[in-house]
Amino acid sequence: MSRGEGNIAHAARLIRAGRLVAFPTETVYGLGANALDRAAVERIFAAKGRPRTSPLIVHVDSIEMARGLASIWPDAAEVLARRYWPGPLTLVVLKRAEIPDVVTAGLPTVALRMPAHPLALELIRTAGVPIAAPSANRFTELSPTCAAHVPEGLADYVLDGGPARVGIESTVLSLVDRPLLLRPGVIPLPEIEALIGAVEVATAPEAGPHASPGMHARHYRPATPLYLLRPGQGPPEGHGAWLRIGEEMPADPLEYAAVLYETLHRLDVERLDWIAVEQPPETAEWAGVLDRLRRAAG
Ligand code: AMP
Ligand code: MG
């Protein structure tokens, strides 16, 4: 595997040749392949050890490219894409036939997102194809928020675009029937509801026809045991790291999200007995961070 600063032309050639490129987005680093090339997308699942029942997000460079991959593009999708793209919002819509089944785990729907990182957009534009990409980590491990986190040997090439600005995975919203939040991110739900009306929140993990891999209970987990502590609770016995809001961790939810995985990656190699995290409040602003912490705690 070679790591590069920003050789877009080389990365785009690899994508067109059916190879895997790890690339920066504003949320986390992705492991990308040509979304229209079945064999290339198969390689993503093999490299990650990801079950083929977990559909991938397809990254586009424009709303126009997204429309071209959807068989139905609802008004709500247009409204949200215009407001949030490029940005950390993934929209699930009915797919067109040219998207191979392996991308969507056999679902008739596809998850689409236009990422807000200049290198990601340039890569898609130069390759001239949509890029299917999950996070560039092995299955159930922590998502990478910088090029150095991408495991050796995972990709044929790593495009280095600096640290991820958002730091946790995108908000995933299904617009196939009534709007349904599949995975919270950094966009507060009331903000989305102000634009498209009421949004139902998917609760039970693995439930329903649109159950998604991000809802898998073992996602986003460091190797070190992580405990989520309620206010007033102290950390366990032994040697560990205590992450309090407004002390070791930022008091602002966006700033917190931006450093969360970086912090867990760093602590995870320190051979600690535990990582104890003060539980954030149950507000819309903290929903994405709280979701990842709950999964990390298991
Ligand atoms: P990750 O594994 O972190 O790349 O996340 C992929 C996310 O994409 C999952 O959490 C799903 O919510 C979402 N996803 C992708 N495709 C679909 C789809 N067709 N239907 C529902 N969710 C999807
Ligand atoms: Mg992932």
Q: Is the peptide bond before 86 cis (omega within 30 degrees of 0)?
A: yes
Classify residue 219: in a domain, yes or no.
no
Is 245 in the same domain as 177?
no
pLDDT of amino acid 218: 56
- The count of residues in the chain is 298
Count of the separate structural domains present in the chain:
2
| 220 found inside a domain | no
| Shared-domain flag, residues 284 and 147 | no
Nearest listed ligand to the Cα of residue 51: 1
Q: Is 214 in the pocket of ligand 1 (CB under 6 A)?
A: yes
CB atoms within 10 A of CB 66: 24
- The answer to whether position 209 is within a domain reads no
Residues 237 and 279 placed together within one structural domain of the fold: yes
Residue 142 CA to ligand 1 centre (angstroms) = 16
Separation of alpha carbons 103 and 99, rounded Å: 7
Please indicate, yes or no, whether residues 162 and 17 belong to a single structural domain of this protein.
yes
- What atom of ligand 1 comes closest to residue 182's alpha carbon? 12
Mutate to test the pocket of ligand 1, among 71, 113, 172, 206 (most ligand atoms within 8 A of CB): 172
Which domain CATH number covers 104? 3.90.870.10
Give yes or no for residue 104 CB within 6 A of ligand 1.
yes
- pTM listed for this prediction: 0.94
The answer to the question of residue 216 being in a domain is no
Same domain flag for 115 and 167: yes
pLDDT at 1: 58
- Whether residue 155 is contained in a domain is answered as yes
**Residue nearest atom 2 of ligand 1, based on CA coordinates:** 134
What is the residue whose two structure tokens read 């993990």?
205
Ligand 1 centroid – CA 50 distance (Å): 12
* Tally of CB atoms within 10 A around 106: 10
Residue at 250 is within a domain: yes
Can you list the residues of the chain whose pLDDT is less than 70? 1-2, 4-5, 204-219
Provide the domain limits for residue 285: 226-297
